Amino acid sequence: MNEDYDVIVLGTGLKECVLSGLLSVNGKKVLHMDRNDHYGGASASITPLSDLFKRFGKSEEYVDGMCGKAQDWNVDLIPKLIMANGELVKILILSGVTRYLEFKSVEGSYVYYKKKIHKIPACESEALRTDLVSMWSKKSFSNFVKFVIEYNPEEPVKKKDFSKDMTTEALFKIFGMTDVTDVIGHAIALHLDDDYLQRPCEETIYRLKLYFDCVQRYGKSPYLYPLYGLGELPQGFARLSAIYGGTYMLSKPIQKVIIGEDGKVEGVQSQDEVARAKMVIGDPSYFPDLAKKNGQVVRTICILDHPIMGPKNSSLGLSTQLIFPCSQVEGRKSDIYVCCVSHAHKVAYCSKDVKYYIAIASCKVETNSPEDELEPALKFLEPIKYKFTKVEDLYEPINDGKENGIFITKSYDATTHFETCCQDIKDVYERATGLPIDFSKVKLDVNVGQE
């Protein structure tokens, strides 16, 4: 390990593995290290099932065979789905990592509204049938969906009073959508708060358009999920890096990041060996003095032997996303998310007699009782066979890294999609290289299994 590299990457979370893969493809000599003995870091998938109980300090509760074959389980630590036409798909195609992975579409996307679960309309016809809005508003809702799907900034918009510079709040008013603002803004446009209402409307239109474009691409919902769990994603990018000469080392404790007298990074020391590089990238846990806490997230992993039940006591299917907008949950300032996958994605045991599901509820912590904050969502998952809860601090870098050569990613937030993660990846890549990720050659689709 005592040699020179262009880049040293610390941590094998998805963000770090994507960055090392892209840098390797672009000719950089990359050394990638992780203190853990497995890939994925905070975005890992845990297998066998017994390791999940061990990780959460519940080893004494686990009995062999209690949920079928332990090796049939791949339990994600964070709840994330992939937008079918989003940034991560573009990165997967651009890098060629799709050759290592298989995907399956997620069956549905739902929202909690007025104390009930509703399917989010996927097209104009569903907007006409939805019970999210009153009978008198269905046509307006359908017209709004049609407007978004057909929107082209290069062509004139026929809608009276419309302007690209108007606020999103004003856009909702001219379409008569003010009664479902939180559904559209949080469950479809996937905004994290209500600040977007006072920003120019085109940002929200593009977010909505992405959602509906994704639905049109693969059908049932805008989301994809990799077979065998999210842990397959960082491993795919690790393979890519290795093909282009990258070196990976697991179980490598990091003693220190070496900073020169000029304040710039010079390398990394591990087990009394030194690897030298003028650039170091990593997750915030490796740089306690260069990252600041910006909140907490609580996540509860639930093992179920039944699907989530929705409208009229019907099943939400083998996989789904469910969003609880903050305005629909008394006292909350941020949304609650639920992501559910199952044996259909080869992450849970399935037999003739029983089929298992993995549902993860998450939200940003706002009180001194984090687990209680998830109760509005957890009650829709009952009965819960096994439950694992963890509260984690969220960190972000205190500077952009351009002066010292250390580029730090952000912690994974509570959302159930990868769009915020991809923005972080793009930001770190551009700060580190001075160049944006070039998506101009992305023209292919991801192969998706439909069962």
- The pLDDT, as a whole number, for residue 141 is 86
- Intervals of CATH 1.10.405.10 along the chain: 123-218
242 exposure class (CB count in 10 Å sphere: 0-12, 13-18, 19+): middle
Tell me how far CA of residue 133 lies from CA of 110, 180, 326, in angstroms: 14, 7, 18
d(C-alpha 374, C-alpha 344), whole Å: 26
DSSP bridge pairs for 341: 358
Do residues 127 and 336 lie in contact, with contact meaning Cβ atoms separated by under 8 Å? no
d(C-alpha 308, C-alpha 241), whole Å: 39
- The pLDDT, as a whole number, for residue 220 is 75
**HSE-up (13 A, CA, CB side) for residue 374:** 28
DSSP letter (8 states) at residue 407: E
Q: What is the mean pLDDT of each run of 10 residues along the chain (451 residues)?
A: 90 96 94 94 95 96 95 96 92 90 93 92 78 82 90 84 92 90 91 91 94 84 95 95 94 95 96 94 96 97 95 88 94 95 96 95 97 96 97 97 97 93 96 88 58 48
- Intervals of CATH 3.50.50.60 along the chain: 7-57+226-292+397-439
> What architecture is domain 7-57+226-292+397-439?
3-Layer(bba) Sandwich (3.50)
DSSP readout, 23-43?
A: HHHTT--EEEE-SSSSS-GGG
Q: Helix count (H) and strand count (E) of the chain? A: 12, 21
Tell me how far CA of residue 328 lies from CA of 44, 235, 395, in angstroms: 31, 38, 28
Q: Selecting from 3.90.1150.10, 1.10.405.10, 1.10.3720.10, 3.40.50.1000, what CATH number does the domain 123-218 have?
A: 1.10.405.10
Ordered strands of the 82-83 beta sheet? 82-83, 223-226, 103-105, 448-449
- The pLDDT, as a whole number, for residue 117 is 93
